[in-house]
Structure 1
Amino acid sequence: MKIFKFGGASVKDAVSVKNVINILQSEGTENILVVVSAMGKITNAFEDVIEAYYNKTDNLSEKLGVIEDFHKAIMDDLFEKEAPIYKEIDILLGELSWFLARNTSQRYNYVYDQIICFGELLSTKIVSAYLEKIGVANNWFDVRNYIKTDSNYRDAKVDWNLTQELISKKVDASKLNITQGFIAANDTENTTTLGREGSDYTAGIFAYCLNADNVTIWKDVPGVLNADPRVFEDTTLLKQISYQEAIEMAFYGASVIHPKTLQPLQQKEIPLLVRSFVNPKEAGTRISKGSNLEPLIPCFIVKKNQVLVSISALDFTFMVENNISYIFKKLHDYQLKTNLIQNSAISFSICIDNKFNKFDSFYEELKTEFKIDVQKKVDLYTVRHFDDKAIESIQEKGTFLLTQVNKETMQIILDAK
C-alpha cells in the first residue's frame, strides 16, 4: 500500500489533472490511496467567500461565481458537456448554497470549516471522474466518514482510536482510492479541518492506519531544498533527511512538510518521499530512519510577517515564573503561536505568528498589566547547521533585531529591507 498526496498546484488546470493521471498510471494504480487538495489557489477563493458571507458584503454571489466558473472551465477541457460529473458538481455547489442560506451560527471558525471543505470535495470529484472516463477504475470516498476529530474547528485534533477503526474497516487497500486532504468531521458529523496545509497530515494519518509502505508528497519542486528559492538564489536538494531532522525543520516552519505529518510516520518507520510532479522520474527527497542530513549543509527556514513583542513588568520587577506562565496562558487563549522566546531579568521577548488575527485583543488585555513594545511585520530566519557564510547571507537582507543560538540552530529576527 502506498499513499500519494497531490497539492493544489498539481491540479491547477486540465493539463495538470492529466499530468497527475499520467503519474498514477506510470506508478501503478493498484494498492494506492490518493489524497488530493483543492485545485490551484481555490482555497484562497473560498476564504474570500467566507469573508464576504461572514461580513455580509454584497459581492458574495460574485465570489461564488468565480469558484463555479473556475471548476467548470477545467471540466470543459476534460469532459463532454453531457458527462455525469457536471450534475455531481452542481449538487455539491447546491449543498454549499444550502448551507449559506440556512446557517445561523456566528462562530467564525465553525463557518470557515463548513465552507472551506468544498474545495477538496470538488477537486477529488473531478479527478475521480476523469480517471473513470479514461478507463481507470477508482473508489472515491468522503474522508469525513473516515477521519474523526474533536470540535476544535480550523485546527482539529484526531481521534486516533476511532479513525484507526474506521479506516481499517472501510478502506479497500487493493484498489485505487481517491479522497480529500485537510478535512475531517467531529462526532456530530460537522466538518472540521486539520490546519492549513493539513493535506500532508491526512496522508500521514492514512499511512499510519493502513501500515503503508511509504508516503509520497508530489510537489512543484525537486524535493526538499535547503532554502526557499523565492528567498535565496542558490538552493540545494536534500537527498536524505532523518525523521528527527525533518521534525526540527517542520517545527521551525519549513513549508514543504506539514509539522504534524511526520510523527505518525516515524512511529511506524514509514518513509516519506517528496518528489516532483514536473519531473516524476527523479528520486527527490527521502525522509526516513537513517543519516541525519545528506548533504550536510546549512538549511534556511523563513517566516514572514511575524510580530516581535517585548513584555516587562510595569514596576520593572523581574519577569519570573508567575508572569511568564500568565503570558503563555493568554497566548494560548488567543491562539498565538510562539516561534521564538528570549528572557532577560526584566523583559520577556517573543516572536509571534498572528495566524488567527487575535494579536490586537491579546495586546489590549495585557497592556493594563505589563509594558509592551511591539514591532509588526518582521521576518524570522532559522538556520539549521549554520556557518559564517550562512549568517552573512542573512545580514544582507535587513537589520538584526534579535538573535538566539544553540549548538545546531541560529534564529534571527530581521527588520527587513
Structure 2
Amino acid sequence: MRVFKFGGASVKDAKGVRNLVRVLQEVGHSDLVVIVSAMGKMTNAFEKVVDHYVDNSDELVFSINSIKIYHQEILEELFSNKQHPVFDKIKKLFEDFNTTLDRNKSTQYDYIYDQVVSYGELISTTIVSEYLNDQGLHNEWLDARDFIKTDNAYRDAEVDWEVTQSNITKKINKKALSITQGFIGADSNNFTTTLGREGSDYTAGIFAYCINADSVSIWKDVPGVLNADPRVFDQTQLLFHVSYEEAIELAFFGASVIHPKTIQPLQRKEIPLHVKSFIDPLNEGTSVKKGQPLDPYIPCYIVKKKQVLLSLSSLDFSFIVEDNISEVFSLFHKHHLKVDLIQNSAISFSVCLDDKFDHFDQLLVQLKAKFRVTYNKNVSLYTIRHFTDEAIQSLEQNKDILLKQITRETYQMVAKE
C-alpha cells in the first residue's frame, strides 16, 4: 500500500480538487490511503471562530457564515446536480458543528479548539470523497478519529500507538482507495484531539507505519524539499536526496515542508518518503530514505519567525547550575514552549523559544520570582545547515543580531524582526 497526503493548498478551491483527481489518475489510485487537510486557509478561519466563541464576540456569526460560504462555493462549482447527497452531508456537518458550540460547557481553550477546528478536515474530506466517487474513483471515507487514538493533551496530543495500530490493522481495507483526515484523532472518551499545527504529515506517517506502507508521498505546491523557503530566500534549489537524519534535523530547526514528527515512524520501518509537486506529479521531487547523502550538498537555510529570546541569570549572581536549568526546562514543558536554541555561561542562560500556544506571559510570572529575566519577543531564528563562510556573511547582512551559535554542521542566529 501507499499513503498520500494532500495539504490545504492542494484543495483550496474547486480547481484544486479537480487537480487532485488528475494526480491520482496519473500516478495510480489502487491500494491507497489518501490523507487530506482542511481546504485552503480554513484552519485559520476555524481558529478565528474559536477566538470569537471564547471571547463571546459579535463576530462569531459572521466568521461561521464566511466558512459556510467558502465551502458552498466550492460545492456548487464541483457538483452541478444540486440534489447531490454531498450537499446534505455538508449541511449535517455544519449542524453538528453548531451543536458542538451550543452544548459546550468547557472553558478550556485547547479542548474547545480541537472540537471546533477539526471540522475543517471533516468537511474537506467529505467533499473530496464525494467528488472522487463522481469521477469514477470509488473510495471509502474514513473518520480518522476511529483509528488514531491519543491522550487528552488537546492541540498537541500524543498517539497511543498500541491501540492505533490495532484499529488500523483491523479496519483498513488494504485493497481499497481510502480517504481520511489529517491532523485529528480522538482520546479514550472519544473527544476530538489534534496532533499539533500542520499535523497532517504526521497522520500520513502514522497510517504508513501501521499498514507497513511501501511509501509515503506528500504533495506540495513546490517541486520537493528546497534548500530554503522560496517565500523568504531567493534562488532556492531542489534537494533530490535527503537522509532520514537530515530530514529530522531540517524539520526540527523549522523547515516547513515536513512536519517534525513525520519522519520518526517512517524511519523505524524504513518507509521511503517522497515530497512531490501536485502541479507536476510525474516529476521525481525529493526522496527521503535511510543513509543517502544530501544531494546536492549545499547550505540549507531555515527561518522561524515570531520566536522569543529569553535570558535568565541568578538574582544574586550565583552560578547557573544543573538544578536551575532542570527547573527551567520543567517550566518550559509545563507551558508547552519548545526550545530551539540553548546557550549558557557561568551566570546566565539563554534560550530561543517557540511559543505556539501563547503561554510565555504565564511562564514569565513564575520565572521572575526566581531569576533576573530579560527577553525579546517577535525575533527570528535563522539556521544554516552545512554552512559556508559565504552563506553566513550573506545571511548576516543588515541584521540586528542578538545571539549566534556555531556547531560542526549548523549555524544559528537570533535577530530582531
- Same fold? TM cut 0.5: yes
- Written as runs of structure 1 = structure 2, the 5 A alignment for 1:354-369 is 354-369=355-370
What is the CA–CA distance in structure 2 between the aligned matches of 1:171 and 1:7, rounded to whole Å? Answer: 22
Q: Which amino acid aligns with 2:51?
A: E
Contact 1:181 1:200 in 2 (8 A): yes
Residue 244 (structure 1) shift: 0.7
What is the CA–CA distance in structure 2 between the aligned matches of 1:334 and 1:192, rounded to whole Å? Answer: 18
For structure 1, which runs of at least 5 residues remain unmatched after alignment?
none
Q: Which amino acid aligns with 1:268?
A: K
Alignment match, 2:314: 313
For structure 2, which runs of at least 5 residues remain unmatched after alignment?
none
Cα shift readout 1:34-90 (whole Å, capped 9, x = no counterpart)? 000000000000001000111111121111101100001000000021111000000
- Written as runs of structure 1 = structure 2, the 5 A alignment for 1:7-156 is 7-79=7-79, 80-156=81-157
What is the CA–CA distance in structure 2 between the aligned matches of 1:370 and 1:97, rounded to whole Å? Answer: 46
TM-score w.r.t. structure 1 length? 0.99
Paired residues in the alignment total 416
Residue 344 (structure 1) shift: 0.3
What is the CA–CA distance in structure 2 between the aligned matches of 1:11 and 1:54, rounded to whole Å? Answer: 29
CA RMSD of aligned residues (A): 0.8
Alignment match, 2:228: 227
TM-score w.r.t. structure 2 length? 0.99
Residue 140 (structure 1) shift: 0.4
Residue 335 (structure 1) shift: 1.1
Alignment match, 2:290: 289
Residue 294 of structure 1 aligns to a residue whose secondary structure is: coil
Alignment match, 1:254: 255
Residue 196 of structure 1 aligns to a residue whose secondary structure is: coil
Q: Which amino acid aligns with 1:17?
A: V
Residue 290 (structure 1) shift: 3.2
Contact 1:224 1:238 in 2 (8 A): yes
Q: Which amino acid aligns with 1:213?
A: D
Residue 304 of structure 1 aligns to a residue whose secondary structure is: strand
Contact 1:85 1:125 in 2 (8 A): yes
What is the CA–CA distance in structure 2 between the aligned matches of 1:147 and 1:397, rounded to whole Å? Answer: 47
Residue 222 (structure 1) shift: 0.5
Contact 2:27 2:282 in 1 (8 A): no
Alignment match, 1:322: 323
Residue 397 (structure 1) shift: 4.5
Instruction: Please say which of residues 13-22 and 126-135 is displaced more in the overlay.
Output: 126-135
Alpha carbons of structure 1 residues 227 and 60: separation in structure 2 relative to 1, 3 Å? same
Alignment match, 2:192: 191
What is the CA–CA distance in structure 2 between the aligned matches of 1:359 and 1:131, rounded to whole Å? Answer: 44
What is the CA–CA distance in structure 2 between the aligned matches of 1:405 and 1:396, rounded to whole Å? Answer: 17
Residue 368 (structure 1) shift: 2.0
Contact 1:244 1:292 in 2 (8 A): no
What is the CA–CA distance in structure 2 between the aligned matches of 1:368 and 1:114, rounded to whole Å? Answer: 36
Q: Which amino acid aligns with 1:7?
A: G
Residue 205 of structure 1 aligns to a residue whose secondary structure is: helix
Residue 296 of structure 1 aligns to a residue whose secondary structure is: coil
Contact 2:202 2:259 in 1 (8 A): yes
What is the CA–CA distance in structure 2 between the aligned matches of 1:332 and 1:33, rounded to whole Å? Answer: 34
Could you list the runs of 4 or more consecutive aligned residues of structure 1 that deviate by over 4 angstroms after TM superposition?
Answer: none
Q: Which amino acid aligns with 2:64?
A: L
Q: Which amino acid aligns with 2:92?
A: I
What is the CA–CA distance in structure 1 between the aligned matches of 2:362 and 2:189, rounded to whole Å? Answer: 31
